[in-house]
Structure 1
Amino acid sequence: MLSILIPGFREDELHLQHLMVDFNGTLAIDGKLIAGVKEKLNLISEKLQVHIVTGNSFGTAEKELEGISCTLKLLSAHNQNIEKGKYVEMLGKESVISIGNGSKDREMVQRSVIGIILIQKEGASVEALMVSNIACTNILDALDLIDNPKRISATLRS
Structure 2
Amino acid sequence: MQLLIPGHDKLQLTQLVLDFNGTIALDGMILPDVREKLNELAKLLKIFVLTADSNGSAAKECEGLPVELHVIGQNCQREEKRDFVRTLTPGVVVLGNGVNDELMFLEADLSIAVIGREGCATATLMSSTIVVTDIIDGLNLLLMHHRLIPTLRK
TM-score range with shorter-chain normalisation?
over 0.9
Tell me the TM-score normalized by structure 2.
0.97
Establish whether residue 88 from structure 1 lines up as the match of residue 85 from structure 2: yes
SS at match of 1:24: coil
Corresponding residue to 1:154 among 136, 150, 153: 150
Quote the residue 2:128 is aligned against.
132
Q: How does 1:8-157 map to 2 (within 5 A)?
A: 8=7, 10-11=8-9, 13-92=10-89, 94-157=90-153
Note the C-alpha offset of 1:66. 1.3
In 2, Cα distance between equivalents of 1:85 and 1:156: 24
User: Which blocks of at least 5 consecutive residues in structure 2 are unaligned?
Assistant: none
In 2, Cα distance between equivalents of 1:152 and 1:21: 18
Q: Deviations over 1:107-150 (max 9, x none)?
A: 11121010000100000000000010000001000000000111
SS at match of 1:6: coil
User: Which blocks of at least 5 consecutive residues in structure 1 are unaligned?
Assistant: none
- Report the count of equivalent residues: 154
In 2, Cα distance between equivalents of 1:152 and 1:85: 24
In 2, Cα distance between equivalents of 1:153 and 1:78: 38
Note the C-alpha offset of 1:106. 0.3
The RMSD of aligned alpha carbons is 0.8
Which 4+ runs in 1 deviate beyond 6 A?
A: none
Q: Deviations over 1:6-45 (max 9, x none)?
A: 112x22x111100000000001001011010011001000
In 1, Cα distance between equivalents of 2:149 and 2:66: 26
In 1, Cα distance between equivalents of 2:152 and 2:106: 15
SS at match of 1:98: strand
SS at match of 2:117: coil
Letter in 1 for 2:140: D
Tell me the TM-score normalized by structure 1.
0.95
In 2, Cα distance between equivalents of 1:86 and 1:156: 26
In 2, Cα distance between equivalents of 1:87 and 1:6: 27
